[in-house]
Structure 1
């Protein structure tokens, strides 16, 4: 359910990443190649991007299928950015939230997306929802499962957790409360990317040069695409990718062994992609 993509690197027209490739995110809205659940992602779409010198991203989101929006192609043809997050949505359940339920969700400098579904929604996450401040619940953009998962992640980020730590701990909490959930989360602040593979596909591509793409599935047949193992946390910069296995429920991700995967065209700068702290 859903397909998403994040990019950090040199400035590019958005369409070069989202529309032009043979199996782009745009095409994945009706013809995904590796989607395990659902077949068509027509319940909304969105893209968030960063303008040079401004840490707060802009967003363009719509309800309905991306192929029905004639403005999207023009927008992505002329707008350039060195960082973006985009998604096409297949809703877990029908709802009236419309555009508000379409990723990316945002707060401050962050953009967020959820590819998957929370099992037993909404009752399964009621105990976790009660751990959030009332103001956070009342200010949720939508009433879907992804919006609540974002509220849980955001609460950790505001509490001081690093991006990878916030995603990892949220996935473990949600998976414990709602076994069988699919929790591929994607987060960027415009400089780094954090993501989880939990129940669905996740891939990454580095280079040429200082650039990294993380996506639900490859947008072309470049042999340099690498699949992320299931139950793994990915943290990445423009020049480095770090993979950390997420242990079974109850084990802390920081106890797992991490693997640093440097870009094929850049030196390993692991300080830019930190392992979750204990």
Structure 2
């Protein structure tokens, strides 16, 4: 399992969002409060953020625990952003991919994270592998279930699906092939966030100073945090949050190339 968080809103330092809160992502790496599977998220971490005027995000990722990287604290103090996606990782299975397996994954303007696990990986998704272009499979950044789920999402995005459709279609496809999978996905595009609640906790907060936070669990005890119902797609901008039940027919249909 993992913990992840996304933010869009007025400019903030990475530290104000990830390190300073009493139960922020930094602390969730060893003491999550809402995590249902696993206890310590020490198998890597990463943060992706958007600089003003640049639609392509920067990333900082490492294979070890976030608390074991002194450079991150300095980075978090100094770097400011209007949008980010960050995660701490608890690997589904042991692997040698190192920081390549740490979210956020990225392509162009998108950042992506998966909190969960694909049931029966990799066997349950073997038939879906055959539906992707060979170059997409061979260019996977890591060999984890999360990296493959990202390949499915990215194929939809490149075919013209919007962010919500890409996540919804992927969740429904993977859940059909691998029932009882946990598929909390998160996708950022600089001005928007899309996320799914499917098998684990997801919360959101409209910040008093403006902007929205979407996270696996609340980073403080603000009473305005709201839990997203299971089997739900969330889409958010700086000012709005929309919740839509995830059910067959929500997405645009089969993924391009899958039929």
Q: Give 2:91's aligned residue.
A: 91
Name the counterpart of 1:241. Answer: 241
- The Cα shift of 1:254 comes to 6.0
Alignment of 1:1-278 (within 5 A): 1-247=1-247, 251-253=248-250
Which structure is richer in relative contact order (CA contacts within 8 A, separation 6 or more)?
A: 2
| Separation in structure 2 between the aligned mates of residue 14 and residue 186 of structure 1, nearest angstrom | 18
What's the C-alpha RMSD, in Å, of the aligned pairs? 1.0
Runs (4+) of structure 1 exceeding 3 A deviation are: none
Matches of 2:251 and 2:180, distance apart in 1: 23
Compute the displacement of 1:45 (Å).
0.1
> Deviations 1:213-243 (Å, cap 9, x if unpaired)?
0000000000000000000000010000000
Inter-partner Cα distance in structure 2 for 1:112 and 1:237: 16
The answer to whether the Cα contact below 8 Å between 2:105 and 2:150 also exists between their aligned partners in 1 is yes
Q: Which residue is equivalent to 1:275? A: none
Partner Cα separation in structure 2 for residue 118 and residue 17 of structure 1: 29
Separation in 2, partners of 1:126, 1:254: 22
- Per-residue displacement from partner, 1:153-199 (whole Å, max 9, x unpaired)? 00000000000000001000000000010000000101000000000
Q: Structure 1 residue 128: deviation in Å?
A: 1.1
CA distance in 2 between counterparts of 1:43 and 1:211 reads 30
User: Residue 7 of structure 2: SS of its match in structure 1?
Assistant: strand
What SS class does the counterpart of residue 12 from structure 2 fall into? strand
SS in 2 for 1:95: coil
Q: Give SS of 1:116's match.
A: strand
The two structures have a TM-score, normalised by structure 2, of 0.96
Q: Which runs of 5+ in 1 are unaligned?
A: 256-278
* TM-score, length of structure 1 as denominator length: 0.89
Matched residues, number: 252
